[in-house]
Structure 1
Amino acid sequence: MADSPEPDTLWDDFHRVVNMTSAELADWLKVRDAGEETEPLPEAAGTETGKHVLAILQKRRTDLTHDDVRVMRQVVDTVGELVDGENEPAPETARDTGRRHRLMTLGHDPLKP
């Protein structure tokens, strides 16, 4: 990763919007992909972006790649678009539940303080 202030700000923004721990995200990705009769191997569970977020959470800032930086920007932008203000309402409809699940796949649980 290039040494500039922008990646430092991105690192902070990413860790602000990704409010799930790596263990919570790993568990969610496994649950999300589990079916009634089958379930993927643990390392294969989750979306590509979700797995990449999990990998980033397990890295040090100095170990980030350019692809990591791209995914971090994507996650910060997507979570920002999906979250309306600081006080997010609890999901009350199926649509809201779907929104919460999409956010959780990116490492952001809107029900966490």
Structure 2
Amino acid sequence: MTDALELDALWEDFHRAVNMTSQELAAWLRVIDADESTQPLPEHAGEPTGQHVLAILQKRRTDLTDTDLEVMYEVVDTVAAEADVGHEPEAESTRRRRRLMTLGHDPLKA
């Protein structure tokens, strides 16, 4: 397990990277998984990583598992690697935005 200082830093970094609320992320996961005739059950919508991010958002820091920590590091690293502040307005309908939103980061949100 991670020490307290590292956990605090990860918690802050994760919540800075994930700028969507749990309600926004849950709605997004349902939208991207829906097709013309069906809509998935909320607990089964979206990619597994998106579902895991949603679960982490609903937890307290003291309830995190080692798997949660791995996902948090992955999300922080992915969002940092794909951040492109100079081109955010152009990101509105791109695959990059969709991929980041699946992780709980909307590049168009301040």
Structure 1: state its 5+ residue gaps.
Answer: none
Structure 2: state its 5+ residue gaps.
Answer: none
| Divergent runs of 4+, >2 A | 1-4
Aligned residue number for residue 103 of structure 1: 100
Give the length in aligned residue pairs: 110
Aligned residue number for residue 47 of structure 1: 47
How far residue 92 of structure 1 moved from its aligned partner, in angstroms, is: 5.6
Aligned residue number for residue 17 of structure 1: 17
Amino acid at match of 2:88: P
Contact 2:91 2:107 in 1 (8 A): no
Distance in 2 of aligned mates of 1:83 and 1:51: 21
Q: Name whichever structure is richer in helix by fraction.
A: 2
Aligned to 1:90, the other structure's residue is in SS state helix
Distance change (3 Å), C-alpha of 1:75 and 1:92: closer
Deviations 1:26-50 (A, max 9, x none): 0000001001122211111010000
Deviations 1:18-67 (A, max 9, x none): 00000000000000100112221111101000000000000000110000
Aligned residue number for residue 112 of structure 1: 109
Shifted more, 33-42 versus 20-29: the winner is 33-42
Aligned residue number for residue 89 of structure 1: 88
Q: Give me the TM-score of the superposition, normalised by structure 2.
A: 0.92
Amino acid at match of 1:20: M
Query: Cα RMSD (Å) of the superposition?
Result: 1.6
